[in-house]
Amino acid sequence: MPRFQRPTGTHDILPEDQPYWEYVTDFAVRLARQAGFERIDVPIFEATDLFARGIGTATDVVEKEMYTFTDKGGESLTLRPEFTAGVVRAYIEHGMHVRPQPVKLYSIGPVFRYDRPQAGRFRQFHQFNMEILGDMDPLADLEVMLLIWDLYAGLGFRNLSFQLNSTGCPRCRPGYVRVLQDYYLGHQNEVCEDCRRRTERNPLRVLDCKVETCQPVIAAAPSILDYLCDECAEHFAQLREYLDMLGRPYILNHRLVRGLDYYTKTVFEVWAAGIGAQAAVCGGGRYDGLAEILGGPSTPGVGVAAGIERIIMVMKTQGLTVPPLPTPAVFLAHLGDRARREAVRLADELRHAGVAVWTAFGERGLKSQMREADKRGARWVVILGEDELARGVAAVRDMTTGEQTDIGLEGLVSWLRERVGR
């Protein structure tokens, strides 16, 4: 038999890592609920076309990172590479535009991108996602940004940098793209080969080129902020005003370009140190045209997606710890046949009474059972043997002090419940 291995780029989340996952997801969910967000779960796979049209066929995500397959009915389906397209599809499909607007939704779960794994990058990873649908107010952009900021701040993150930009709208962006293109056409011999190609195919991407020789050209490139239409400029100005009013630091980065085509106006990312070259712990922005692209009523929207693995990686490198998950404080040890039966009955009763309890399996010596109790971190060991049974008691040992006392069987449940709590 061949030994099986997890597929490339996937990870088993082992028990020892679960405290992080529970802590982070609980915290995020509480935060979202506190601001009136409701949970939505959408399918892990959708029609391939949904992502192709929503995200944009010229994007890397769609061009080379999708897990696409044909099902037995001949339908082309794709494992979701992100949440927004599915959530907006659900909004349209269920006529959520008749609900009180805006509709605020959060999601949490796995997403999939076929990519070469490296530090902080996986093929299956998890996102915490928030969307506000049906409102153009910059306050919606602000709320999403504030919440995501609070998420990181609440988890204790240090050295965050909030990158902010506006990517314009269909009215003003094309004009800027032309200006940028013209500018680059005049500098073709100074930039890298990739940028020469980008100038034609995806001009905005030249702005986040990392090649040394391209930097001077980028530095002198025209900024989109100078070409926004009145509406976009006003929207951006208002958002910044709120952020300034609240004293939230951010870095205006006119080179911030996002990899999904649906973005309009606000775009932002949060960068953190400590997870290798992949610094972004979340990305988001406004997507006022998406609902229409997907065949629905024109509906503005703004949202953010945070990568949970990256959050946890940052927490670990920054030394942020989380409380351990609870385990039973009571261990039931037993000796002999009759005692085992009584132990089984007692464990059942204890659990029904809300007392978490381990029991020993097999016919083992007391020493071995004690060792197990110790290693599992039990606070109390209840010892049942022929001797105790005959006297109608159980010996209860406090593992922290080593003190041991006999407790009558009829009062044992309440005795333990008092001490264990709950």
Partner RNA sequence: GUGGGUGUGGCCUAAGGGAUAAGGCACCUGGUUGUGGCCCAGGAGAUUGUGGGUUCGAGUCCCACCAUCCACCCCA
Taking residues 6 to 45 in sequence order and writing x for each that binds RNA by CB under 7 A, - otherwise, the string is: xxxx------------------------------------
Residue 188 carries which DSSP code? G
Record the tokens describing residue 142, joined without a space.
């602000």
Across the chain, how many H-helices and E-strands are there? 15, 16
Question: For the residues of 79-94, what is the DSSP string, one character each?
Answer: E-S-SHHHHHHHHHHT
Q: Is 274 in the site for RNA (CB under 7 A)?
A: no
Q: Is 407 in the site for RNA (CB under 7 A)?
A: no
**What are the tokens at 410?**
């009829």
Dist CA 66 CA 84 (whole Å):
15
Q: Give yes or no for a cis peptide into 7 (omega within 30° of 0).
A: no
Q: Closest distance between RNA and the C-beta of residue 357, in Å?
A: 16
> Is there binding between residue 108 and RNA (CB under 7 A)?
no
Per-residue tokens: 368: 């071995």
What residues between 361 and 380 interact with RNA by CB under 7 A? 364-368, 370-375
286 binds RNA (CB under 7 A): no
Identify residues 171-190 at the interface with RNA (CB under 7 A). none
226-265: contacts with RNA (CB under 7 A): 257-260
- Helical spans, DSSP H, in 59-137: 60-64, 84-93
**161: part of which helix (H) or strand (E)?**
strand 160-166
Among 77, 5, 94, CA closest to 41:
94
Give me the helices (H) in 67-172, please.
Answer: 84-93, 138-155
- Exactly one of 23, 45, 51, 122 binds RNA (CB under 7 A); that residue is 122
Regarding 224 and contact with RNA (CB under 7 A), the answer is: no
| By CB under 7 A, residue 282 contacts RNA | yes
Binding of RNA at residue 305 (CB under 7 A)?
yes
Q: What is the DSSP string of 390-413?
A: HHTEEEEEETTT--EEEEEHHHHH
Check residue 131 for interaction with RNA (CB under 7 A). Answer: no
Query: What's the min distance (Å) between Cβ of 241 and RNA?
Result: 25
All residues at 6 or more sequence positions from 173 whose CB lies less than 8 Å from its CB, including other chains: 167, 224, 264
Give 179 or 273: the residue with its C-beta nearer to RNA: 273
Q: Does residue 119 belong to the site contacting RNA (CB under 7 A)?
A: yes
Number of shown-chain residues binding RNA (CB under 7 A): 69
How far is residue 277 CA from its own chain's centroid? Answer: 19
Nearer Cβ to RNA, position 280 or 293? 280
Residue 113 within binding range of RNA, rule CB under 7 A: yes
C-beta of 69: minimal distance to RNA in Å? 16
Kindly tell me which of 118 and 327 has the beta carbon lying closer to RNA.
118
The C-alpha R_g of the chain, in whole angstroms, comes to: 29
- Return residues touching RNA (CB under 7 A): 5-9, 59-61, 82, 113, 115-122, 125, 127, 194, 205, 208-211, 257-260, 269, 276-283, 305-307, 309-310, 335, 364-368, 370-375, 381, 383, 385-388, 395, 397, 399-402, 404
